[in-house]
Every structure is written in C-alpha cells, then in structure tokens.
Amino acid sequence: MTGRVWVFGDSIDTDAMYPAFAMKLDIPEAAGHVFYQIRPGWTDLVQPGDIVVAGHNFGVGSSRPVASLFRHLGVAALIAEDFNSLFFRNAVNAGLPALTAPGVTELFTDGQLGSFDIATGLYSNDTTGCTGKTAPLPALILEILASGGVLARLAEQGYLPIELLDVLRSGAVPTGSGA
C-alpha cells in the first residue's frame, strides 16, 4: 500500500485517539474526534489511503475500539515502532493492517509518500528514496486482513451467517504481495 504519511510520537494512548465523550457517538461522528487532543483538526486533513506512522508503544491504555474510527476515516494502515499488544490485535481483528517497523519514524515526516508491503516487510519513503525492512505479518494475520477482519473470516469459514459477509468485510486488504 502507498499513501501519504502522518507521523505521531511514542506512547500515544487510546484515550487520546478516542476520547471518552466520543464513545457515546455513532462511528461517523466519533471518527471526527480522533487525535483531537494531540493534533486538533487532523481528521479534517486525513484522506482515504493515508497511513499513520507512530513511535513506541502505540495504542497503550484501554481497549477502546479505535480501529473502527481509523477505518471510517479511510486510513490504509498503522505502522509503528511497536504496538501495545491489545491494540495491535484489535486493529487486526477489525481488518486494519498494523505493521511493527523499528526505526520507521526516523525515515518519515508528515506529508511524505510511503509504501509498505505487509506481506514482505519492505517499506520505502517514496519522497526521499529511503528504504527499510521489517518482519512481515504472519500468513494467518494476512488472511484475516484479506477477509476484512476476524468476523468476516469467521463468516467465510461458516462460523457466522454468510449473509453478513459483505458487511463484515468492507474495507478488506487485497491478498498477495504488494498488499
């Protein structure tokens, strides 16, 4: 995936991503408040296909369902030095790619174009030409993402009603290298 990059720092907690008052709102309205405390107006600037790059311990804190807000905004992927493990799993479950890439924040600044291949771990700053490599996502996680999230995968496998599949897989990541 290739998109414009937004860079955030270390230890950004889910409370800063999804404030408590917004949890009472519908997803479309709540999505307008992502990062409002640390970067007011960001949701007015982010566009479908953009990529969030963050520092260490991204998503620390409560297990607020932030991935659904990022998906509503059209964020293509989350790339971080490292993730809080619960946040990482929640992102994957929601069908939002989350790739750990140590050192990635040193290669990007806001607005640059980045390419990330979650199947190979290769990434590049297409603006500066800098490149990097990290561990790719495991095959099972790639399958979950290609399905559109864990619930869509369960529907594909017959564990949930197949009639729900289209709704559950909206925003699925393409399969294969180059995803």
Q: How far apart, in whole angstroms, are the C-alpha atoms of residue 24 and residue 113?
A: 34
pLDDT of the residue at 170: 65
- Asked if residue 113 has pLDDT above 60, the reply is yes
pLDDT of the residue at 92: 95
Q: How far apart, in whole angstroms, are the C-alpha atoms of residue 1 and residue 117?
A: 6
pLDDT of the residue at 179: 42
Quick: pLDDT tens for 3-49. 999 999 999 999 999 999 999 999 899 999 999 999 999 999 999 99
What's the chain's average pLDDT? 92
pLDDT of the residue at 171: 53
Q: Which DSSP string corresponds to 13-62?
A: BHHHHS-GGGGGS-HHHHHTTTTTTTSTTHHHH--TT-EEEE-TTBTBSS
- Asked if residue 177 has pLDDT above 60, the reply is no
Rg (CA), the chain: 15
Quick: pLDDT tens for 58-109. 999 877 889 989 999 999 999 999 999 999 999 999 999 999 999 999 999 9
**Number of other CB atoms surrounding residue 44 within 10 Å:** 7
Helix-helix angle 85-93:139-147, to 10 degrees: 50
3-class secondary structure, 86: helix
pLDDT of the residue at 164: 84
Pairing status of strand 113-116 against strand 98-100: unpaired
Q: How far, CA to CA in Å, does 116 sit from each of 10, 23, 74, 148, 161?
A: 20, 31, 16, 18, 33
pTM for this predicted structure: 0.91
Quick: pLDDT tens for 120-162. 999 999 999 999 999 999 999 999 999 999 999 999 999 988 8
